[in-house]
Amino acid sequence: MIKLIARILDAAVLFQSIILAFFIRLNFEWDLMEDYSIIESSFLFAFIGMVVGILCKRCDWMGSKAGFSNIVAVIKIVSVSFLVTYFAGELVELWSGMDYFLPLSVLIIAALVSFFVMTFYRLLFKEVYSYYISGKYPHRKIVIFGGGEAGRLSRIALTSETGSKQKIYAFLDDDPSKEGEKIGGLPVYCGLDKLTQLQEELGITDLLISVMFISPKRKREIIEECLKLNIKVSIVPSIDEWVKGDFSAGKIRKIKIEDLLCRQEISLDNPKVFQQISGKVVLVTGAAGSIGSELCRQIITNKPDLLIMADKAESALYNVEQEFKSANWKSPIKPILVDIRDVKKMEQIFKEYKPDIVYHAAAYKHVPMMETYPEEAVTSNVLATKNLADLSVFHNVEQFVFVSTDKAVNPTNVMGASKRIAELYIQALSEYLDAEQGQTTKFAITRFGNVLGSNGSVIPLFRKQIEQGGPVFVTDPNISRYFMTISEACQLILEAGTMSKGREIFIFDMGEPVKILDLAKKMIMLSDKKVEKDIKIVFTGLRDGEKLYEELVCNTEELQVTHHPKIKVIKMSPVGFNRINYQVEFFERLLIINSETDIVRHIKSIVPEYISNTSRFTMLDRLN
C-alpha cells in the first residue's frame, strides 16, 4: 500500500510539474497554451516517472526508511524520466509532424520542479513521522563513546533511522585533544568519568561503544561503569564489517557476557592446520555437542576429503547434519549414530573409512552426574578413550587429539579424575610407541577451562534462570572458573594437532579466573534487571565433587612456552605403559562387580592427588 501511495504521489507531482513548467515558460499567457499538447505531455511524463519509480528498488521512503538514499532515488526517477520523455517527445514530433510537442526548456523546468517538490515532501514526511514517533514513544538518550571515524559513522547511521525512538546527545572519548570539539553539532567530552555528569544533566539512558580498535580491558571498564550507573550498553560491529562497508544501525548489538572476559579473545590463523586437514579423512567424536559441532565447522573449512561425525545423540546429530547440508560444503560429510563405548562398531568405522585424523571430543562432563554414576565416567571417559586410542594405533591413524579439561588437574571429583586417567593412558601409550615400535600415530592432549555457551555450562543456565524471573542459583560466593569461548577451544584443538610431537598437553593462556557471583550479577544487569530487586541470587552450596577454583597445571607438571605466546605446553613425568594399561583394563573387572566404592577406590589408586570434596567418597580418603 505504501509503495502504491508513493507512486501515485510521484506521478501527480510529475504531471503537475509539466503544467507548471508550461505556465512559467510562456509567462502565464493563456492564449499561447493552446498551441501545445500540455495534457498529453503531462500524462507522458507522469506515466514514465511511475514506471521508473516501480523499477527503482529504493521506493520505501516512508517511515524509518526515509533518508539520503531515497533522495538518490528521486534523482534517478527524475533524470531517467527526463531522458525517456525527451526522446519520446522527439519521436512523437517526427511521427505526427508537430513542431513542438514538448519543448526542451519546458522539460528542464519540469524536471527541476519535480525534483525539489518530491524531495521536499519526502523530508517533510520524515520529520512529521519522527515527531509522531517521538511523541508516542519515549526517547532513548544516547551518548557515543568514540569521537573518531567510527563514532561519526555511527551518528550518521543512527540519525538516519526515522522513528527509531532514540536521540544522540553527546560523544565521549579518551583523547584529551578532542575535548570541546563538536561532531555534527554534538559536544565531545573527554574521559569516562564524565558519564555520571551526562546522566545527571541529560538523563542519558544508553551508551554506544563505537571504536574500531579497543582493548578488552578498556571495553570492560566502560561496560562495568555503565552497569554501575544502570545505563544500557551496545557496541558497533567488528572492524571487518567496517572495512567491508557492511555497517548499519541494524547491526549494532547488545553487550554479551563474552565481552566481559578478562583477556583478549585468542585467534589463531595457522596455515599448517589447512595443510594437515586438507584431503584427509577426519573423524570427530561427540560431533553433535557444542564443542564437537563447532570443531566440525572449523574442520570443514579446511577441505577434508571426508568428515565423519560420530555421536549417540540422534536429534542433535540430525540437526548438525542438516546445518551442514544447507551450507553446501564441497567436502562430503558422514554422520554416524554410534556410542563410542561400542568397540565393535567403532572398529567397523575405522576399517571402513580409514580415518587419518581423530579428534576425540566425546565425554561425560557434568561433575555432579558423574559423582552419582562413577561407572559411567569410567566406561565413557576412560575405557572408550583407551579403545579409540588403541584403534587409532592399530589402523595407523596419523594424529589423535584428545580433549581434556582443567578438572583433571588435582581432581576433587570422579569426572575430573576419569579424564586424568585418560590423559595418563594416552601419554603412556605415546611414549611406549615411540620407545618400542617407532611412533606412527602422534598423540596430543588439549586442556582448557569452562567453555562459554557450551551445553550445560553456567552461561545458558543463568540466562534461562534470568528469563524465568529468577532466582539465579550460585553454589558459593567465592567460587571461580577459567573461561574461554567455543571458538577458542576448537582453535586450540586444531592447533594442537599441528604442533604435537607426542605426549604433550596443550593449554591456552586463560587469563585470570572469573568469580561466578560477579558473572551472575553482570548477566542480570545486562538483562536490564536489578540484582536482588528484580532477580535474586541464591547460594546453594558446593555440589558433589565441586571445588572452589580450578587449576590448569599439576604440581608435578612442567610448563613450557611454544611458538605462540598464548599457547603453553605441559611436559609430564614418564608413566609406565604396562602399569597404566593393566590399571585401566582392571576397570572392566570392577564394572562386572558393579561396586561404585571399589571403582572410585581404584580411580584414587591411579590418581593419588584425587581427593574428594563435598562427596560421599570422602570416606575413602579418610580410610587411606
Of residues 84 and 301, more confidence is placed in: 301
Q: What is the pLDDT of residues 196-233, one digit of tens each?
A: 888 888 888 888 888 877 777 788 888 888 888 888 88
Closest CA to 603 of 446, 412, 384, 445: 412
Helix (H, G, I), strand (E, B) or coil at 323: helix
Helix (H, G, I), strand (E, B) or coil at 366: coil
Of residues 542 and 449, more confidence is placed in: 542
Confidence of residue 63 (pLDDT cuts 50, 70, 90): very low
pLDDT at 353 over 80: yes
Q: Give every CB contact of residue 624 below 8 A, 6+ residues apart in sequence.
A: 604
Q: What is the pLDDT of residue 341?
A: 95
Q: Are strands 514-515 and 480-481 parallel, antiparallel or unpaired?
A: antiparallel
Of residues 342 and 155, more confidence is placed in: 342
The predicted model gives 137-142 an average pLDDT of 68
**Quick one: cell of 205?**
539512558
Q: What is the pLDDT of residue 340?
A: 94
Q: What is the pTM of this model?
A: 0.70
Phi, psi of 515 (to 5 degrees): -75, 130
pLDDT at 350 over 80: yes
Residue among 141, 365, 407, 521 flagged as catalytic: 407
Q: What is the pLDDT of residues 553-606, one digit of tens each?
A: 777 777 777 777 778 888 777 778 899 999 999 999 999 988 899 999 999 999
> pLDDT exceeding 70 applies to what percent of the chain?
82
Helix (H, G, I), strand (E, B) or coil at 442: strand
Q: Pick from 19-33, 129-143, 362-376, 472-486 the range whose average pLDDT is largest.
A: 362-376
> pLDDT exceeding 90 applies to what percent of the chain?
29
Q: What is the pLDDT of residues 228-251, one digit of tens each?
A: 888 888 887 655 555 455 555 455
Q: Which of 174-188, 245-259, 343-357, 439-453 has the lowest mean pLDDT?
A: 245-259
Q: What is the pLDDT of residue 372?
A: 94
Q: Which of 33-42, 205-214, 406-415 has the lowest mean pLDDT?
A: 33-42
DSSP string, 538-603: EE--PPTT--S---SS-TT-EEEE-SSTTEEEEEPPP--HHHHHHHHHHHHHHHHHT-HHHHHHHH
Helix (H, G, I), strand (E, B) or coil at 289: coil
Q: Which of 30-39, 86-95, 326-335, 525-534 has the lowest mean pLDDT?
A: 30-39
Q: What is the pLDDT of residue 60?
A: 47
Q: Which of 71-75, 396-400, 512-516, 599-603 has the lowest mean pLDDT?
A: 71-75
Confidence of residue 262 (pLDDT cuts 50, 70, 90): low
Q: Give every CB contact of residue 146 below 8 A, 6+ residues apart in sequence.
A: 154, 171, 172, 173, 209, 210, 211
Q: What is the pLDDT of residue 57?
A: 54
pLDDT at 122 over 80: no
Q: What is the pLDDT of residue 65?
A: 45
Q: What is the pLDDT of residue 311?
A: 95
The predicted model gives 335-353 an average pLDDT of 95
Q: What is the pLDDT of residue 605?
A: 93
Q: Rounded to an integer, what distance in angstroms lies between the CA atom of residue 231 and that of residue 217?
A: 19
Domains identified in the chain and CATH numbers: 2-134 (no CATH), 137-255 (3.40.50.720), 271-452+483-508+554-606 (3.40.50.720)
Cis ω for the linkage preceding 471 (within 30 of 0): yes
Enter the DSSP assignment of 531: B
Q: Give every CB contact of residue 606 below 8 A, 6+ residues apart in sequence.
A: 421, 424, 580, 583
Q: In three state form, how does the secondary structure of 340-353 look?
A: CCCHHHHHHHHHHH
Q: What is the pLDDT of residue 457?
A: 75
Q: Rounded to an integer, what distance in angstroms lies between the CA atom of residue 153 and that of residue 538?
A: 44
pLDDT at 456 over 80: no
Average pLDDT of the chain is: 81
Is residue 136 flagged as an active site residue?
no
Q: What is the pLDDT of residue 261?
A: 62
Q: Rounded to an integer, what distance in angstroms lies between the CA atom of residue 354 and that of residue 225?
A: 55
Q: Rounded to an integer, what distance in angstroms lies between the CA atom of residue 473 and that of residue 177?
A: 47
Q: What is the pLDDT of residues 416-425, one digit of tens each?
A: 999 999 999 9
Q: What is the pLDDT of residue 314?
A: 93
Largest CA distance in the chain: 120
pLDDT at 64 over 50: no
Q: What is the pLDDT of residue 110?
A: 77
Q: Rounded to an integer, what distance in angstroms lies between the CA atom of residue 219 and that of residue 215?
A: 6
